[in-house]
Amino acid sequence: MAEVQTSTNSGELAQRFIEFVMMQAQNAALFLGQIPNPQTGKGEVNLEVAKMFIDQLAMIQEKTRGNLSNEESAVLRNTLSNLQLAYVEVSRGGASAAPTEEKAPESAPPEEPVTPESPTAGPEGESRKKFTKSYGAG
């Protein structure tokens, strides 16, 4: 019979959580056109899918509030903030305009202070607060 590991090193769990956040951020960056599609070699923009990954990270942030270490919280907060800013930039630039310079929104240092974003949702966004957000796309 296989022996089940009953205690997991908290450092290992923290590393797994950060890897999870980075994986989600990488997926969002792919659909924001910041990472070339491995099959085509070109940046492709799909704002709907990018928003889904960003919203998932926002949901994780909300559901884990108070349960993360300072490092985990900082990585998640910075990653989410950078992705939201990138989403707004790409959406304002048009869906077909992929950025030519290389950006890495998911690589912000955890010790960098980030101020909380003010809500940018309009009146229609106010009625649908539960895990739906508007990042200024209009």
- 57 in any annotated domain: yes
- 129 in any annotated domain: no
Token pair of 2 as six digits: 């296989």
- 49 in any annotated domain: yes
User: Which parts of the chain fold into alpha helices (H)?
Assistant: 10-31, 47-63, 70-92, 123-126
Q: Dihedral sign for Cα 93, 98, 101, 102, please.
A: positive
- 44 in any annotated domain: yes
Q: 115-133 pLDDT, tens per residue?
A: 444 344 444 444 444 455 5
- 2 in any annotated domain: no
Which DSSP category does 105 fall into? G
In this prediction, residue 10 carries a pLDDT of: 82
In this prediction, residue 1 carries a pLDDT of: 53
Higher pLDDT, 5 or 125: 5
**How many structural domains is the chain composed of?**
1
- 7 in any annotated domain: no
Angle at 82 between CA 70 and CA 73, to 5 degrees: 10
Residue 117 structural domain: 14-123
Which DSSP category does 124 fall into? H
Mean per-residue pLDDT over the chain, rounded: 76
Contact indicator for 77, 106 with CB cutoff of 8 Å: no
The pTM for the full model equals 0.62
- 134 in any annotated domain: no
Q: 32-79 pLDDT, tens per residue?
A: 999 998 888 899 999 999 999 999 999 999 999 999 999 999 999 999
If you search the block for the tokens 């559901």, which residue do you land on?
63
What would the mean pLDDT of 17-23 be, rounded to a whole number? Answer: 96
